Amino acid sequence: MRTVEYIMSIPKTLYYNIKLLGFKRGKKLPLLINYKVKVRVSRDSQVKVHEETPKFGIRIGFYGTEGVSENYKSVFLVKENGTVKFSKNALLSKGISLQCIGGEVTIGDHFSTNKNLFVYCVNSIHFADNVLMGWNVTITDNDGHMVNKGAASQPVTISNKVWVGSETYVLKGAQVSEGNVIAARSTVTNKSVSKKNVLLASPIASIKKDDIYWEK
């Protein structure tokens, strides 16, 4: 079944590698895009991929835990001078919804998600290296609606080797330090967590335990 899925994804993969990256870079096929993913990148926006990204090093719309239902639609949307930057390797699993509207999303090396990651960026969302996401995670740098005549936004940073548990919300202004684990169904707000290697837990994430270390 997976082989069939790959074969059906070849036309879209070929088309968007060339369209988004240009012929010289695109012919190396750093992007693998599932045929089910709706891709829209406006002319004033861009997708960048590290020069050392291997063939199909960036996989969009594949894999995910069996038994977890993925969203009906998968979306990769970049518009209004938005930019999405990939490092060498990344897996954005089935059900992905990445929307970059005039901001910048940076995705570090060995980034991996489970199903249904929702990213909504109008300012800046930065994922460092070796970040792992559970299923149904939401990350946004803005309110998503007008408050006091303005839609406030604050950058979000997820540092190196952070594990974000399933059904977690990471909201505007969140700064998650290196090595942290965020427990399932937590909410991380704009209060910075400067300590490394700690466990953050729900309902509003706060430090529960020091000196924790996790392996991928």
* Residue range 7-17, pLDDT digits in tens: 999 999 999 99
Residue closest to 190 by CA, chosen among 163, 136, 154: 154
**48-52 mean pLDDT:** 97
Residue 195 has pLDDT above 90, yes or no: no
104-149 tens-digit pLDDT: 999 999 999 999 999 999 999 999 999 999 999 999 999 876 555 4
Mean pLDDT of 159-185: 95
Sign of CA dihedral 15, 69, 122, 30: negative
pLDDT of residue 17: 98
Question: Cis peptide leading into 11, omega within 30 of 0?
Answer: no
Residue 151's pLDDT band, with cuts at 50, 70 and 90, is low
Which helix (H) or strand (E) segment holds residue 40: the answer is strand 37-41
CATH number of 34-209: 2.160.10.10
- What is residue 202's predicted lDDT score, i.e. its pLDDT? 74
Q: Give the residue, 78 or 206, on which the prediction is more confident.
A: 78
In sequence order, what are the beta bridge partners of 19? none
User: Maximum distance among all alpha carbons in the chain?
Assistant: 51
Question: For residue 214, is pLDDT > 90?
Answer: no
Q: What percent of the chain has pLDDT over 70?
A: 95
Q: What is the pLDDT of residues 24-45, one digit of tens each?
A: 999 999 999 999 999 999 999 9
Q: How many percent of the chain have pLDDT more than 90?
A: 80
